[in-house]
A = this chain, B = another copy of it.
Amino acid sequence: MPSARRLGSPDAKNRSVLLDAAEQLMLEEGYAAVSARRVAARAGLKHQLVHYYFRTMDDLLLDVFRRRAEEGLERQAKALASDQPLRALWEYSTDRAGTVLTMEFAGLANHRKAIRAEIARYAEKFRAAQLEALPGILDRYGLCSDDCPPVVMTVLLTGLSRVVAMEQTIGISTGHTEALAWVERHLQQLEGDPKSRTDDR
């Protein structure tokens, strides 16, 4: 077992520079473009440093994912705890960059087992957090919702935000404005007009 090899410390500056470069590359050109050489080039570093900080490329990809996911969990929690929770959750869910990255990782998961498990783990975390908060919120709005329980709503709106984000990046547009307006109508009805700009990123 060759794990005696050296590894850079987790809080080194260049480490996060490489993570940034990998994430950006993934966003713009897809996971297939994330090679050690291209990541390093974008970060202005030598490609060997990638292997110094991350033993394998899978390790790098996993760290990019985890960093995003942890930040996302916090953002989602803050949204759910805000005074317009549904609107805030929707705004978070429709974040373009976040959704595109999620889809890219989902594609990656199709053929890399190590990554698949981690993605599934976090995805369930996201959904569980939503399901813990939603019933209380909907109750407060007087939605007993026998027809469409919270868990269905969650899956439905996840799908909607994903498909719109995905289609936007490809160049498909039919029905998007109508679908977004439909959501907005319901948000408006439940929580009124948007009160604050929650773009604190």
Chain A interface (Cβ < 8 Å from any Cβ of B): 28-33, 100, 103-104, 106-111, 116-117, 119-120, 123-124, 127-128, 131, 147-149, 151-152, 154-156, 158-164, 166-167, 169-172, 174-176, 178-179, 182
- The residue that A155 contacts in the complex, of B33, B169, B176, with Cβ under 8 A, is B176
Chain B residues with CB under 8 A of A164: 155, 159
Contact A160 B156 (CB under 8 A): yes
Contact A106 B170 (CB under 8 A): yes
Question: Which residue of the partner chain B has the closest CB to A115?
Answer: B170
Q: Please name 21 pairs of A and B residues whose Cβ atoms are closer than 8 Å in the assembled complex, sorted by A.
A: A30-B110, A30-B111, A31-B32, A104-B110, A106-B170, A116-B170, A117-B171, A124-B174, A127-B175, A128-B174, A131-B174, A131-B175, A151-B175, A152-B175, A155-B164, A155-B175, A156-B179, A158-B163, A159-B161, A160-B160, A163-B163
Q: A159-B164, A160-B159, A167-B123 are in contact. Are A110 and B29 (CB under 8 A)?
A: yes
